Structure 1
Amino acid sequence: MTVDAVTGSGGIKRQEAVMKRLVTVVTGGSRGIGAAVCRRLAADGHDVAVGYVRDADAAEAVADGVRDAGGRAVAVRVDTSVEADVERLFAVAEDQLGPVTGLVNNAGVTGPLGRLADTGTADLRRVVEVNLLGALLCARRAAQLMTPCGSGVIVNISSAAATLGSPGDYVHYAATKAALDALTVGLSKELGPDGIRVNAVAPGMIDTEMHAAMGDPDRARRAAASIPLRRPGQAEEIAAAVSWLMSPEASYATGTVVRVAGGR
């Protein structure tokens, strides 16, 4: 056996090891549920592309957490409603980490709390563009990359609002999440024959900084009395559900929306 043959054999094995690594793109990964998902997936052995739109320092801190857990990470600024940004997100992920095997469609916005009649058109447009169009663009790109490989997992972050409607708070947000549930069901049937699973997690009231961004930082704690479990959820509890859906333990689960909402 020549030296070249030995080196080649070792190179092939190393390539196979790299190719078998789990590489997951997480949008909206710099805070809240997205950050918790990145950390949990890193603990599960994923390399993670942390998508973020504004806070580069927060995104890099999450990426550092992934590295501390033994994974590889890259933070990528992306507005998921912009097609070119989505293309770049996946291109950087593949260039820096390897073939993408998973997507967590987490990026989302609510706009200010209030009745639909009082909501500005710009806010409506932004919610639809990020929550629905952004998810569609990311799912489409993931499908394009995963289909030739014959495997992959997509998890959409929906909301209990999709079925509750959220009157007086953000029915426009609820409407986009209901559309995301429809996307989950339809895309799972479309991609199932290609070996790609598509599911969703529907969080209830989760205690994250999102409520402060909506102008009501105490909203989650005030809602506790209306939740059967009498408390808001934690981002890590949503990350645990995502982790299961992305794992081999959920290998026969597709087209399902897992509700993690404390009984609401």
Structure 2
Amino acid sequence: MLVTGASRGVGRAVAAAFAARGDRVAIHHRDSAGLAASLRASLPGQGHAVVRADLADADAVAAMVDEAAAALGGLDVLVNNAGQAYPHPITEVSYREWQELWARTLAVNLTGPANVTWCAVRHMLARPPGSPPARVINVGSRGAYRGEPGQPAYGAAKAGLHAMGQSLAVALAPHGISVASVAPGYVQEDETNASYKVPRGPDHAAQSPFHRVARPEEIAAAILWLADPAAEWASGTVLDLNGASHLR
């Protein structure tokens, strides 16, 4: 299975969860070779791989997915986890900055996952008869529904990712491929991304009636279930994972 953005945070927890159940994992990163290598070294089992690509580069994406499939002997699960948010409040950025940040955000958070999925599906369709059911799982965001006023392109991209997953759930069901999405709220940092994201303070925790933010392992547990052969009927779903901080 291939996890994008696997060197940090949720992606790292997802890779660890799948390896713990005996899967071989391709760990994707963009510019975190050291973290990706340390994750591979820590995973149980053999045959894990590290692959690199900037998801905004379509040719690099195709090469990365092919490399992952070659290293693992095929692909049966894809987790589109990689993403990046760039602040761009509409009242505080220039028109040029607005355009550039929308283009960059959509490239990483929507077009990139779409390209990864296209490439991965080609390998899923080539699996031999009797292979485990294939799964595509997208990591979206609560922000797709609640709004992202400081980074509107991020909210729009994640909403698009959810919609893409639902469209592909219909398109790929006849081929035995299920597609689902999760929509997390705030997630706690670990040592791999504490300096990479804004620290989660009391105001973030207060948004949930549990008075905390999610642990990466909680998001990973839901993704692990969606990838299970028994979860085929969840295809097309968008699973809210926000601790009742936003209800719809």
The two structures share one fold, judged by TM-score above 0.5: yes
* Cα deviations by residue, 1:223-246 (Å, 9 ceiling, x for unpaired): 111222210111111000110001
Tell me the distance in 1 between the aligned counterparts of 2:110 and 2:104: 10
Gaps of 5+ in 2: none
Deviation at 1:75, TM superposition (A): 0.8
Comparing both chains, which one has the higher relative contact order based on Cα–Cα distances under 8 Å and sequence gaps of 6 or more? Answer: 2
Structure 1 pair 211/123, CA: closer, same or farther in 2 (3 Å)?
farther
Q: In the alignment, what sits opposite 2:55?
A: 80
Moved more, 127-136 or 84-93: 84-93
Deviation at 1:220, TM superposition (A): 4.5
Q: In the alignment, what sits opposite 1:41?
A: 18
Tell me the distance in 1 between the aligned counterparts of 2:219 and 2:54: 23
Q: In the alignment, what sits opposite 2:164?
A: 183
Of 12, 21, 32, which aligns to 1:55?
32
CA contact (8 A) 1:81 1:137 kept: no
CA RMSD, Structure 1 to Structure 2 (Å)? 1.7
Of 223, 227, 231, which aligns to 1:250?
231
Of 73, 80, 83, which aligns to 1:105?
80
CA contact (8 A) 2:69 2:123 kept: no
Q: In the alignment, what sits opposite 2:196?
A: 213
Tell me the distance in 2 between the aligned counterparts of 1:54 and 1:207: 21
Matches within 5 A, 1:104-123: 104-112=79-87, 114-119=88-93, 120=97, 121-123=99-101
Tell me the distance in 1 between the aligned counterparts of 2:115 and 2:194: 26
* Paired residue secondary structure (2:104): helix
Q: In the alignment, what sits opposite 1:18?
A: none
Q: In the alignment, what sits opposite 1:233?
A: 214
* Paired residue secondary structure (2:234): coil
Structure 1 pair 84/249, CA: closer, same or farther in 2 (3 Å)?
same
Tell me the distance in 2 between the aligned counterparts of 1:162 and 1:71: 37
Tell me the distance in 2 between the aligned counterparts of 1:249 and 1:221: 38
Q: Aligned pairs, how many?
A: 235
Letter of the structure 1 residue corresponding to residue 232 of structure 2: S
* Paired residue secondary structure (1:251): helix
Name the structure where helix makes up a greater proportion of residues.
Answer: 1
Q: In the alignment, what sits opposite 1:263?
A: 244
4+ long deviations beyond 6 Å:
none
TM-score by length of 2: 0.89
Of 50, 58, 66, which aligns to 1:91?
66
Q: In the alignment, what sits opposite 1:20?
A: none
Identity %: 34
